[in-house]
Amino acid sequence: MIGFLERLRQGPLVADGAMGTMLMERGLKPGECPEAFGLAHPEALGEIARAYLEAGADIIQTNTFGASPLKLASYKLEDKTEEINRKAVEAARRAVAGKAYVSASCGPTGRLLKPVGDADPEEVLAAFKRQMKALLDAGADILCIETMTDLGEASLAVKAAKSLRPDVPVMATMTFDKTSRGFFTMMGVSVKKAVEGLKAAGADIVGSNCGNGIEAMVLIAKEMRTLTDLPLIIQANAGLPRLVGGKTVYPESPEFWAPKAKDLLAAGVSIVGGCCGTTPEHIRAIRDSVSRFRA
């Protein structure tokens, strides 16, 4: 496979969809650590990766969202950091067999930085480095820093990645809420500040994931496009969850997504994928839109 950034210059790519719901279908219990479940069930990780690959994803994400040692510590699993991250990359690499890029997911540590919280920046930087070293040693093609709400933490993650391997592409995405004054993260970061800050930290690709359905993501993407020339990535939720008869339902169907995925591409987004509530069928819909867009 050619280098990821070079490949991106040739046209838009499709990322995969939700991980958590797919793990639950395969036995993940409520409250159980998803990364520990993946370690115990590598075959489930392989199945999920293959399902998205068959749906047409060019990028497969690893089950390492919560695998920084700071986050794993809440399950008393920080000693398993290296093993969890390494095995998750290996499972994804085996499943895709060179047919897709393996993107290693890195989510927030769950700690708030000083002075708002009690976490030292050095501690957070070291935690990201420890996770990312394991991911990179195992052969991840890309690092994906995602669902960030604090620009300070996101920047530390990007810097950790670049300090280890400046040549490995870094995608960095933040999660925004719609307010009457525009989109802001929970920590008050505007779209403009996010784009500028992530770029300054050294991200190769910026964007947004989670928190919004695909229509709001089109608005975020349009705003981002006016702010930077960097490639953009968008991974929307299948809408916001509702509870119907005791079951969680995500309202946006693959049919609803197909034309909106086209809107994202028209807005200049380079990578389109899914977050919470999306399925291989959503990814198939995106694949279809991306293929038509190129034609």
Partner 1 sequence: MDILDEVSRRLQEGDEEQVPALVRKALSQGKTAPEVLDKGLIAGMNVIGAKFKERELFLPDVLLAAKAMHAGIEVLKPHLAKEGLPSAGKVVIGTVQGDLHDIGKNLVSIMLKGAGFEVVDLGKDVPPERFAEAVEKEKAGFVGMSALLTTTMPVMAKVVEALKARGLKALIMVGGAPVSEEYAKEIGADLYAFDAASAVERAKALAR
What is d(CA 195, CA 201) in angstroms, rounded to the nearest whole number?
10
Q: Which of 115, 122, 167, 295 binds partner 1 (CB under 8 A)?
A: 115
Q: Contact region for partner 1 (CB under 8 A) — 122-130, 156-164, 199-207, 238-246?
A: 238-246
- Does 248 help bind partner 1 (rule: CB under 8 A)? yes
- Contact positions with partner 1 (CB under 8 A) in 200-229: none
Q: Does 3 bind partner 1 (CB under 8 A)?
A: no
CB of 193 vs partner 1, minimal distance in Å: 12
The two tokens of residue 225 are: 């496009």
CA-to-CA dists, residue 186 to 6, 29, 164, 259, 274, angstroms:
34, 28, 29, 29, 21
Question: Contact between 120 and partner 1 (CB under 8 A)?
Answer: no
Should residue 76 be labelled a site residue for partner 1 when binding is judged by CB under 8 A?
no
Phi, psi of 176 (to 5 degrees): -110, 150
DSSP-derived secondary structure letter, 43 = H
Indicate whether 117 belongs to the interface with partner 1 (CB under 8 A): yes
Cβ nearer to partner 1, comparing 10 with 180: 180
In our burial notation (b when 16+ CB lie closer than 10 A, e otherwise), range 30-41 reads eeebbbbbbbeb
Q: CB of 293 within 8 A of CB of 265?
A: yes
Question: Near partner 1 by CB under 8 A, which window of 26-34, 38-46, 123-131, 215-223?
Answer: 26-34
Binding of partner 1 by 125 (CB under 8 A): no
**CB of 269 or CB of 276, closer to partner 1:** 276
**Gap between the Cα atoms of 82 and 125, Å rounded:** 16
Q: Determine the interface stretch with partner 1 among 45-53, 114-122, 219-227, 228-236 (rule: CB under 8 A).
A: 114-122
One residue of 116, 139, 163, 266 binding partner 1 per CB under 8 A: 116
Please tell me the distance from the alpha carbon of residue 34 to that of residue 32, in angstroms, as a whole number: 6
Give me the DSSP letters along 254-292.
HHHHHHHHHHHHHTT-SEEEE-TT--HHHHHHHHHHHHH
Binding site for partner 1 (CB under 8 A): 24, 29-31, 74-75, 110, 112, 115-117, 177, 179-181, 184-188, 241-243, 246, 248
